[in-house]
Each structure stands twice: as structure tokens, then as C-alpha cells.
């Protein structure tokens, strides 16, 4: 599953630079997670890095993007291949 940021976000900016997939960006009012880029940090870290740093604990799982560990790993490989092709 991808993660999502709720409206409890206080725009503290600390999660954005921690995301290895560049999935977090400022939205219209609060920070947002691009569900197509979020792998729950699978492939990079053991635990979601954004959750580790969020001071208000406002990053739950996104129920609209149900994915297994295998699917998240496949997503990680897809994102990594894309990065290699661009650079
Ligand atoms: Fe980025 Fe990891 Fe948070 Fe997903 S869980 S938004 S990949 S830091
Ligand atoms: Fe919002 Fe939490 Fe990210 Fe801070 S760390 S910008 S409160 S989601």
C-alpha cells in the first residue's frame, strides 16, 4: 500500500527530503504523497522514512492503493529503472 498524508499535517517540511522515491511534494494546502511513487520505502529501507520523522503522526496507509510486498518491490524496480534511464 502507498501511504498518504492527512490534513493533520503541519507543513513542517521534514518528510519531503527523506523520501527515497521523491514521492512527497507540497500540495495546495499540505504535503501530499504520489501513490504511484510510494513503495512504503520497500527496496530502500526497512520502515517508511516519512513516518519515522513526522512529528504529528499523520501518515497512514492509503486504503485506495492496496499492494502486496511483491508488488511494492516490483514498483521499486520500475522506479529505479526509470531513474537509471533518465540519468
Ligand atoms: Fe516516500 Fe517511503 Fe514515505 Fe512512501 S513511505 S512516501 S516511499 S518516504
Ligand atoms: Fe506534514 Fe508530517 Fe510531512 Fe511534517 S513530516 S510535512 S507534518 S506529513
Q: What is the pLDDT of residues 48-78, one digit of tens each?
A: 999 999 999 999 999 999 999 999 999 999 9
* Whether residue 87 has pLDDT greater than 80: no
Q: What is the per-residue pLDDT across 21-32, written as a single tens digit (0 to 9) for each?
A: 999 999 999 999
Q: What domains can you pick out in the chain, each with its CATH number?
A: 16-80 (3.30.70.20)
Q: Whole-prediction pTM value? A: 0.93
Q: Are 23 and 33 in contact (CB under 8 A)?
A: yes
Confidence band, pLDDT 50/70/90 cuts, at residue 82: confident
* H-type alpha helices, the chain: 49-53, 69-86
* Whether residue 84 has pLDDT greater than 70: no
Ligand 1 centre to CA of 39 (Å) is 6
Cβ count near 12 (within 10 Å)? 12
**Contacts of residue 36, Cβ cutoff 8 Å, sequence gap at least 6:** 2
Ligand 2 centre to CA of 63 (Å) is 19
Q: Helix, strand, or coil here: 18? A: helix
Ligand nearest to the CA of 58: 2
Q: Are 21 and 80 in contact (CB under 8 A)?
A: no
Amino acid at each position: 500500500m502507498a501511504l498518504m498524508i492527512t490534513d493533520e499535517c503541519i507543513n513542517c517540511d521534514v518528510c519531503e527530503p527523506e523520501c527515497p522515491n521523491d514521492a512527497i511534494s507540497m500540495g495546495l494546502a499540505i504535503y501530499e504523497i504520489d501513490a504511484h511513487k510510494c513503495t512504503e520505502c520497500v527496496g530502500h529501507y526497512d520502515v517508511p522514512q516519512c513516518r519515522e520523522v513526522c512529528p504529528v503522526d499523520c501518515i497512514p496507509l492509503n486504503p485506495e492503493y492496496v499492494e502486496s510486498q511483491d508488488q511494492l518491490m516490483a514498483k521499486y524496480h520500475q522506479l529505479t529503472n526509470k531513474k537509471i534511464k533518465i540519468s
